[in-house]
Amino acid sequence: MDDVQFSDVGRALVLGMNQEEENLYIQQSLAHLVVEKITGLLFHKANATVGPLVTNYFSFIFFIEIHTGLGLKRVFVKIPKENLLKGSKSILPISSADRCMAEDEVHSLRTLADQWQSDDLGVSWVRFRGFFPQYNAIVTEAAEGIEAFAVFRKLDLMRLMGSKNTRFRLGRAMSRFGQALGRFHHKNTKKMLFRLSDDIPKLERYCCELDSILRSRWPRRVLAILRSREYLKFETMEVPTLKGIDVRNALMDEHDSLFLFDPGRMKRTCCEADLARFIMTYRIIYWGSTLFFLRLRPDAQAEKEFLEAYYSCTMVSNKKLLSLFLIKEQLKHWHTAIGSLLFRPWPTPLKRFVAATYVNPFYTRQLGREIKRVI
C-alpha cells in the first residue's frame, strides 16, 4: 500500500476534528514523544513549550523548547511531505514517497555527523536527535541565528553602497563554505566520466515544460544547443552530493558561523552538481524582496572565492562542465519560479507582467552567459 494509516487519524475523526485540528492533535502527540525521549520525563512533568505548526511546500515543522537544570534545550521537528502545494495538507497518512524523503534525510544527517568535519571553519550541520517513524518525523537540535539568505542579501547591499568590510564578510563566509564542502567531497571521491548524452532526457523535460508555459524562444534554443553538444564527455569526481546544499538552508549567527539544516537526499554524482546548486541559490539572494525589481546582482567576487576555496581542497573541475550543471540548475530554478508565480493569488495580468519583465529576463541572462561558455 502507498499510504499508511495510524490510530491517531482514527481518533481525530471520531472526535469530529477538521484537518487543522487533526494536525494540531497529532503535533501534540508527537511533541509528547519527543520530550519524553530527550528528557526521560513524561511531558506534563517536563518544563516544555511547543511552538506553532508551520508548513512549507514540502514539510510540516515546529520547535520545542525544554527548560532543564542545565539550561534551555531547543529542538526542531520536521515531517517531510512529497508535495503540500497541490495535495492534502494533512500530516497523516504517510505515503511511500513521504517515507522515502524522511529516510533519505536521516541517512544524510547521520553520514554528515561522521564525515563533515569543519567546525574549525564555523560551518556545521545541525545535530540529529532522533526519528519517529510512526509520524515520519525527524528531530534535530535547533541552531541559533538569522537566515543566511537574508544576511547575505544585506551584506551585498551594503557592499553596493561602498562598504568594504561587508564585502569581506560575505566573501569570507562564501569561502569558508566552499572549503568545508571541498573537504567533505575530498573524503569520498573517485574519478568518473560524465557524458552529456546521459543528462539530455532530463534537460529535455525541463525545456519542454518551460516551452509549454512560456512565451519565449529560450527553452527551445537551449535544448537545441545542448543536443548539438551531446557528444561532450568530461573526467570529473564522483562524490556524495546533497540536495540541501543551498544558501536558503543555512543560519548565520552574530559571529558569522554558519549552521546548515535540511540536507535532503544524498546521491553519488558529479561534484559540479553541488557547486552549481549552491551557486544558483547565491545568485538569487535578492528574490523574495522588493530589491529584486532593481535587478541587482550579488557580488561575483564572493562566488569566485567560494570556488577557489573549494578547489583548494580537491581537484579543479572543467569549467565547461560546471557551466553545463549551472544551465541545468537555471532551467530547474526557472521552472520552479514560474510554477510558484502561477500559484500566487495575483490577477493574471500582474503574473504575466512579473514573468515577462523580471523572471524571464533574469534567467535568459543567466543562461546566455553559461551557453557562451559551453559552445
Q: What is the pLDDT of residues 100-158, one digit of tens each?
A: 999 999 999 999 999 999 999 999 999 999 999 999 999 999 988 999 999 999 999 99
Q: Which three cell numbers stand for residue 203?
A: 534537460
**Structural contact between residues 107 and 243, judged by C-beta atoms closer than 8 angstroms:** no
Which long-range CB contacts under 8 A does 196-201 form with residues at least 24 apart? 196/226, 196/229, 196/230, 196/231, 196/232, 196/233, 196/324, 197/230, 197/231, 199/324, 199/328, 200/226, 200/227, 200/230
**Structural contact between residues 321 and 195, judged by C-beta atoms closer than 8 angstroms:** no
Q: What are 191-250's pLDDT values in tens digits? A: 999 999 999 999 999 999 998 888 788 999 999 999 999 999 999 999 999 999 999 999
Provide the pLDDT confidence category of residue 8 given band limits of 50, 70 and 90. low
Provide the pLDDT confidence category of residue 1 given band limits of 50, 70 and 90. very low
Q: Which three cell numbers stand for residue 304?
A: 569566485
pLDDT higher than threshold 90 for residue 58: no
Asked if 7 and 110 sit in the same domain, the reply is yes
Asked if 184 and 328 sit in the same domain, the reply is yes
pLDDT higher than threshold 60 for residue 97: yes
Asked if 223 and 119 sit in the same domain, the reply is no
Q: Which is more confidently placed, 288 or 204?
A: 204
pLDDT of res. 80: 94
Q: Which is more confidently placed, 90 or 315?
A: 90
Give the closest residue to 148 by CA, choosing from 278, 43, 45: 278
Report the distance separating Cα 41 and Cα 32, nearest Å.
Answer: 10
Report the distance separating Cα 298 and Cα 296, nearest Å.
Answer: 7
Asked if 137 and 165 sit in the same domain, the reply is no
Q: Which of 126, 141, 156 is the C-terminal boundary of a domain?
A: 141
Give the closest residue to 12 by CA, choosing from 98, 93, 99: 93
Asked if 156 and 288 sit in the same domain, the reply is yes
Least confident of 4-8, 262-266, 267-271, 278-282: 4-8
Range picked from 63-77, 168-182, 281-295 for highest mean pLDDT: 168-182
pLDDT of res. 299: 95
Which residues are within 8 A (CB) of 322 and not within 5 positions of it... i.e. 6 or more apart?
272, 275, 276
Report the distance separating Cα 30 and Cα 354, nearest Å.
Answer: 41
Asked if 38 and 186 sit in the same domain, the reply is no
Asked if 60 and 171 sit in the same domain, the reply is no
Provide the pLDDT confidence category of residue 9 given band limits of 50, 70 and 90. low
Query: Strands 47-50 and 3-4: what pairing?
Result: unpaired
pLDDT higher than threshold 60 for residue 7: no
Asked if 255 and 115 sit in the same domain, the reply is no
pLDDT higher than threshold 70 for residue 3: no
Q: Please name the helix (run of DSSP H) or strand (run of DSSP E) that holds residue 67, with its range, or none.
A: strand 59-68
For the packed helices 319-343 and 360-374, what is the interaxial angle rounded to 10 degrees? Answer: 160
Burial state string for 285-305 with b = 16 or more CB within 10 A and e = fewer than 16 = bbbeeeebeeeeebbeebbeb
Provide the pLDDT confidence category of residue 326 given band limits of 50, 70 and 90. very high
pLDDT of res. 315: 79
Q: What are 105-121's pLDDT values in tens digits? A: 999 999 999 999 999 99
Residue 78 lies in domain? 3-141
Q: Please name the helix (run of DSSP H) or strand (run of DSSP E) that holds residue 146, with its range, or none.
A: strand 146-147
Asked if 124 and 151 sit in the same domain, the reply is no
Q: Which of 113, 141, 169 is the C-terminal boundary of a domain?
A: 141
Provide the pLDDT confidence category of residue 2 given band limits of 50, 70 and 90. very low
The domain that contains 104 carries what CATH number? 3.30.200
Three-class SS of residue 240? strand
pLDDT of res. 243: 92
The domain that contains 229 carries what CATH number? 3.90.1200.10
Domain count, the chain: 2
Cα dist from 243 to 8, 12, 33, 34, 296, whole Å: 32, 35, 29, 26, 26
Q: Which of 86, 110, 141 is the C-terminal boundary of a domain?
A: 141
Provide the pLDDT confidence category of residue 10 given band limits of 50, 70 and 90. low
Rounded to 5 degrees, what are φ and ψ at 264?
A: 70, -160
pLDDT of res. 306: 97
Asked if 228 and 153 sit in the same domain, the reply is yes
Mean pLDDT score across all residues of the chain: 90
Provide the pLDDT confidence category of residue 20 given band limits of 50, 70 and 90. confident
Asked if 64 and 204 sit in the same domain, the reply is no
pLDDT of res. 5: 43
Asked if 236 and 355 sit in the same domain, the reply is yes
